[in-house]
Amino acid sequence: MTDKEQIKDIVTSVAELQDLKQWERLENYFVKKPFIDNKSISGEVPAMIPKKRLIDSWRKEIGSYFYSTRHFIRRLAVRMLNSRRAKVSTLVEHVHYVADRGDRYAWTVRGTIDYILVKTATDTWKISQMIFKVTDQAVRPISA
């Protein structure tokens, strides 16, 4: 598998594992403290966050508020910055399914996620940066 193929596999796996709620497996895809910028969706200040805390926050958020999610990657482009560093640009659509007082809704968030991946000393690629920018979002009821 080429470096670009490995990198694409990592980015798509992170989206799939969130939907499958395979939290423990997600840790393998990140450096110890990746830089995370989710300010446009969460309001949190961008920062370097221990990967365990990042994944625990996803587990808590997805587990507490949504009975299901679907993270779609609509476009994915890899640009090799050098032999040990790559930039990935994605166009994404995340659908979060919510049940509230007997009604069900789909909250759809569209935007971009830009990643930086680095090749470690063991020749594995890891995510060192994720910047999520929301372009639009909508909530719609789901018919019974």
Condensed to tens digits (0 to 9), the pLDDT of residues 111-131 reads 999 999 999 999 999 999 999
> How much is the pTM?
0.93
29 close to 112: Cβ distance less than 8 angstroms: no
Q: Which domain holds residue 23?
A: 3-141
Q: How confident is the model at residue 6, as a pLDDT?
A: 97
Report the CATH number that the domain containing residue 84 is assigned in CATH.
3.10.450.50
State how many domains the chain has. Answer: 1
Return d(Cα 144, Cα 139) in angstroms, integer: 16
Helices in the chain by DSSP H: which ranges? Answer: 3-20, 23-26, 39-42, 51-65
Q: Is 102 left (phi over 0), alpha (psi -120 to 50) or beta?
A: left
Condensed to tens digits (0 to 9), the pLDDT of residues 21-78 reads 999 999 999 999 999 999 888 888 999 999 999 999 999 988 888 999 999 999 999 9
